[in-house]
Amino acid sequence: MSGARIPEATVARLPVYLRALNAMHEAGTTTCSSLELAQAAGVNSAKLRKDLSHLGSYGTRGVGYDVGYLRYQIAREIGLTQDWPVVVVGIGNLGHALANYSGFSSRGFRTVALLDGDGTRLGEHVAGLRIRGFDDLDEVVAEHGVVIGVIATPASGAQEVADRMVATGIRSILNFAPTILTVPEGVDVRRVDLSSELQILAYHEQRKSGGERGLPASVAHELAEAVDDVAAVAAPSTEQTAGQAAGARR
């Protein structure tokens, strides 16, 4: 049972369940039904039960789930019984925030190094860690056995950083830069794309506020080129082409 493959959609929800269980545990709850847990996690109760059934049969009919037990089982399945060393590359606006974020360390991840390509940042201390040069990557990875890398550089440098990470043996990458990374098979990349999230919200928002439609295609076609440089459509993204857009931090 616990060797079988777990559907990707289920894997993506396990962290949510785990968090809900942790909250219950802290509230002193020792037992919960699938309905309670499902509501806390914001999903259908049938879906929750099916998800959990992929891990094994850890509930008791007529009773529910033991919070502590289920918590352990999910943590084990995700791999949080060990903690994972993580390296963050690109200590700008976002990198600083990530370095200071306590939510990682408290959930099974340990930031072991902060790297930046910009020499002027070297030596600066953030959250108790000294910023080191990007060239130290191999050393850091070897020393701590890092397998997860976080990229918080501008898009222009992200692919290069990813290539170097892969070369050093990192096989899981969390990418905040708005680019699609090309990596060899066997390397996992998850992308966190805030602009996309906002754009998806905007799409739905537009649908809600009555559907005032755009121009007919015939007219639009003629306007297309003219509109190219209008900021609202899609202003030249500084970071897609040009070197890092060093926004004035702080």
Partner DNA sequence: AGGAGTTTGTGAACGTGCGAACAAACTCGG
Partner DNA sequence: CCGAGTTTGTTCGCACGTTCACAAACTCCT
Residue list 86-105, contact with ligand NAD (CB under 6 A):
89-95, 97-98, 100-101, 103
120 lies in the binding site for a second copy (CB under 8 A): no
Q: Considering only 23-31, 115-123, 133-141, 160-168, which stretch makes contact with a second copy by CB under 8 A?
A: 23-31
The residue (of 40 and 147) whose beta carbon lies closer to DNA is 40
Using CB under 8 A as the binding rule, the residues of this chain from 73 to 92 that contact a second copy are: 73, 75-84, 86
By rule CB under 8 A, what string of x and - marks binding of each residue 1-20 to a second copy?
-xx-------xx-xxx-xxx
60 lies in the binding site for DNA (CB under 7 A): yes
125 lies in the binding site for a second copy (CB under 8 A): no
15 lies in the binding site for DNA (CB under 7 A): no
Report the alpha-carbon distance of residue 212 to residue 79 in Å, rounded: 49
The residue (of 160 and 229) whose beta carbon lies closer to ligand NAD is 160
Report the alpha-carbon distance of residue 138 to residue 57 in Å, rounded: 43
Report the alpha-carbon distance of residue 146 to residue 172 in Å, rounded: 10
Q: Is the dihedral of CA 83, 21, 15, 129 positive or negative?
A: negative
The residue (of 10 and 153) whose beta carbon lies closer to DNA is 10
Using CB under 7 A as the binding rule, the residues of this chain from 17 to 46 that contact DNA are: 32-35, 43-46
Helix or strand run (H / E) with residue 158: helix 155-168
Long-range contacts from 68-77, C-beta under 8 angstroms, 24+ separation: 68/25, 68/30, 70/21, 71/18, 71/21, 71/22, 71/25, 74/14, 74/17, 74/18, 74/21, 75/18, 75/108, 77/2, 77/6, 77/14
Among 138, 160, 188, 205, the residue binding ligand NAD under the rule CB under 6 A is 160
At 176 the three-state DSSP class reads coil
- Are the C-beta atoms of residues 55 and 6 closer than 8 Å to each other? yes
At 134 the three-state DSSP class reads helix
Q: Which residues contact 61 (CB under 8 A, 6 or more apart)?
A: none
64 lies in the binding site for DNA (CB under 7 A): yes
* Residue 64 interface partner, choices DNA, ligand NAD, a second copy, none, CB cut-off 5-8 Å depending on type: DNA
> Which chain residues interact with ligand NAD by CB under 6 A?
89-95, 97-98, 100-101, 103, 116-118, 121, 134, 152-155, 157, 160-161, 176-178, 194, 239, 244-247, 249
